Structure 1
Amino acid sequence: MTVEQVEQGPRRVARTVKVPASSDDVFALVADPHRHGELDGSGTVRDTVSGPRRLSQGAQFSVAIKQFGVRYRITSTVTRFEDGRLVEWRHPAGHRWRWELTPLTPTSTRVTETFDYSTVPAVQGKIFELLGFHRQNAASIEATLRQLASRYARA
């Protein structure tokens, strides 16, 4: 299982991996915000989630986070949703998280996760870079995708 970098333009950090599971199975996990803690490679997402069991266009969900020793809650809004294929949500700070699934075979899926901060004002994007968010999130995405692929490899 190799996680690969995907070039998607400036201020977008994307990685992809082939997962040994159907796109329906993977999408069921990604589209359920109550299960995002199972995916999280950063170690910041907690199990305390409020919102729908299945995301849809315009849905909102709230997640408890613990980062740098500080606990807080964020509410995100789904900005793009294509059933079985794509889910993207906007973080309160304006950046977006995106999951794209491409079925390869009935039992394997190409999964791409993207941290997209091209949607924030230039000054805010520069602050993200100075704080190293792009590097931190790249490492977290890689850990998430490895964890996801391993989860299904063991199943």
Structure 2
Amino acid sequence: MNAHEVEQDQVSAALTVALPAERVFAVLADPTAHPTIDGTGWVQQPVDRAPLTEVGQIFRMDMYHPDARDGDYQVANEVHVLDAPRAIGWMTGHDPGGDGRLEFGGWFWRYDLSPLGPSTTKITLTYDWSAVPGTIREYLHFPPFAPDHLANSLHHLADLATRTPHARTDPG
């Protein structure tokens, strides 16, 4: 089952999968899985490979977008929701000066996992840009991806979680 919903300043999609929430959460908490989950081709590889375990944790990703200067860039994500195995989310930012001082643009990703039984989970993926200031909205269009991106990502997540019988245990 697939659902897609657009509201002002956020878009979400949902998918019900025949997988336990714990397995889906373990994949989401593993930054090395994110390039496979992403449906845009923008997420290239994790810079920080440690599993996501706490609010405030930063994990960086190497990215590619043809509209970015030289195509390649890096984002720094800060975990702002972590309630295993029910919810995980992060704000996306960057380090413009290369000095470790992060700036966030006002958008975030959030996955909500609702167990519908011991081996069935409804996954809702939300992309929210409600806190993006006008100065950024002047040059970035939101959402910056096609409407089917979230549904595609949920299908990639389900496929990966099906092939991943347990959480990654090495620290990176």
TM-score by structure 1 length? 0.84
* 8 A contact 1:39–1:148 mirrored in 2: yes
The match for 1:117 is: 129
* 8 A contact 1:37–1:45 mirrored in 2: yes
Q: Deviations over 1:104-147 (max 9, x none)?
A: 1111110011110001124534644xx3x426153221211122
The match for 2:99 is: none
Between Structure 1 and Structure 2, which shows a larger proportion of helix residues?
1
Over aligned residues, Cα RMSD in angstroms? 2.2
**What residue ranges of structure 1 are gaps of 5+ in the alignment?**
none
The match for 1:103 is: 115
Larger Rg: 2
What is the alpha-carbon distance in structure 2 between the residues aligned to residue 112 and residue 3 of structure 1? 10
* 8 A contact 1:23–1:85 mirrored in 2: yes
Structure 1 runs of 4+ off > 6 angstroms?
A: none
Q: Secondary structure at the match of 1:136?
A: coil
The match for 2:97 is: none
What is the alpha-carbon distance in structure 2 between the residues aligned to residue 100 and residue 126 of structure 1? 30
The more displaced of 67-76 and 145-154 is: 145-154
Percent identity over paired residues: 26
The residue type paired with residue 72 of structure 1 is Y
Q: Quick check: 1:70 aligned with 2:71?
A: yes
Q: Secondary structure at the match of 2:47?
A: strand
The match for 1:24 is: 22
Q: Quick check: 1:134 aligned with 2:143?
A: yes
Aligned length: 150
TM-superposed deviation, 1:28? 0.1
TM-superposed deviation, 1:80? 1.6
What is the alpha-carbon distance in structure 2 between the residues aligned to residue 12 and residue 127 of structure 1? 18
Q: Deviations over 1:66-125 (max 9, x none)?
A: 111711111111112212111111111221011111111111110011110001124534
Decide whether aligned partners of structure 1 residues 10 and 91 sit closer, same or farther in structure 2, where only a CA change above 3 A counts.
same
Q: Quick check: 1:83 aligned with 2:95?
A: no
